[in-house]
Amino acid sequence: MSSHQPPRPVRFGILGCASIARKLARAMLLAPGAAVAAVGSRSEEKARLFAADNGLDVATTRLHGTYEAVLDDPDVDVVYLPLPTSLHVRWATAAAARGKHLLLEKPTALCAADLDAILAACDAAGVQFMDSTMWMHHPRTAKMRELVDDKDAIGDIKVINSVFCFRANEDFLQNDIRVKPDLDALGALGDVGWYCIRAILWAVDYELPKTVIALRDPVKNQSGVLLACGATLYWADGKTATFSCSFLTNLTMDITLVGTNGTLHVTDFVIPYEEKSAEFSVASKSNFAQLHIGWDPLPSKHVVTTDLPQEALMVQELARLVQNIRDAGGKPEGKWPAITRKTQVVLDAVKTSIDKGSEPVEIAN
């Protein structure tokens, strides 16, 4: 292959036509270096409808009436897996065993032991693992990281708060897979709490907390699935973080980081208000104005623009990693499974604390 030829695109197979898969199909069409090779559903008709509805070329996209057929498709490099959480171990391990790289929807597993089975399968097969926490890939996130790492602007982080909730309608609360104990038993904790936990870990550079204590009186449905909950996390050096997540309150996606020198606020961290532009604010060395009638200095606003939406940047980054393995003999990037595992470990501890009536749960480092 001559050097000026563009590398072969990385070809994705979509396993299951969940509603989130629509967003990812669009991302795969937008992302340079990626293509949709196949769609698999429990019926070929459903796969055909999904392809037609989402602008996929029905002539070039393979349409499969079983999940197995996607895994057996030699044209597929990467499997994107948006199936209910209870099916992740079965299909993710099967995909890895067939040598497919893996983009796994969150929550990645029902517990860390299940996730470890998935990661072990990926490791054994030498395939790349990545979860689909899209905001990790937004350029705003990198810009916020620069500021968080700037000891002068923020100082030492002491307090973190995160909220992610949305107001689900009656149909969702009755019928969505995220409220069904046999499909997505983690409910709101797995669906939206995942993001809060990830944000908190991101802010502290993935240092695991020492102790987790769930907030009291979580809200559950009649099947015992969580509709609203939260927790406080404690670190050995005195940092604390609190998060709340819910299906029952207005759409909110906040991170507040409070350091000795400064404070960072972002109010749309999971999905920015607009695709092309995202902002955050930093208040640094803030003081009372004279007579305490205002602030001095005022917080600064930072705007970060992007041509591609964050989910397309995620697909592009995964495609880059896969290309390196497939075409250049590279090794999988270990950062992504490590971050996923830490998120899952904290999520497990929160769930354990909830199940024990808000007892403290220690996390072994």
List residues with catalytic annotation: 106
Distance CA 153, CA 258 (A): 11
Are the C-beta atoms of 229 and 197 separated by less than 8 Å? no
Are the C-beta atoms of 215 and 274 separated by less than 8 Å? no
DSSP 154-202: T-SEEEEEEEEEEE--HHHHHH-GGG-TTT-TTHHIIIIIHHHHHHHHH
- Termini Cα distance of the chain: 46
In this structure, what are the phi and psi dihedrals at residue 164, rounded to the nearest 5 degrees?
-140, 115
Distance CA 191, CA 187 (A): 6
Collapse the DSSP code of 337 into the 3-class scheme (helix H, G, I; strand E, B; otherwise coil) and give the result: helix
Distance CA 289, CA 77 (A): 59
Are the C-beta atoms of 264 and 256 separated by less than 8 Å? yes
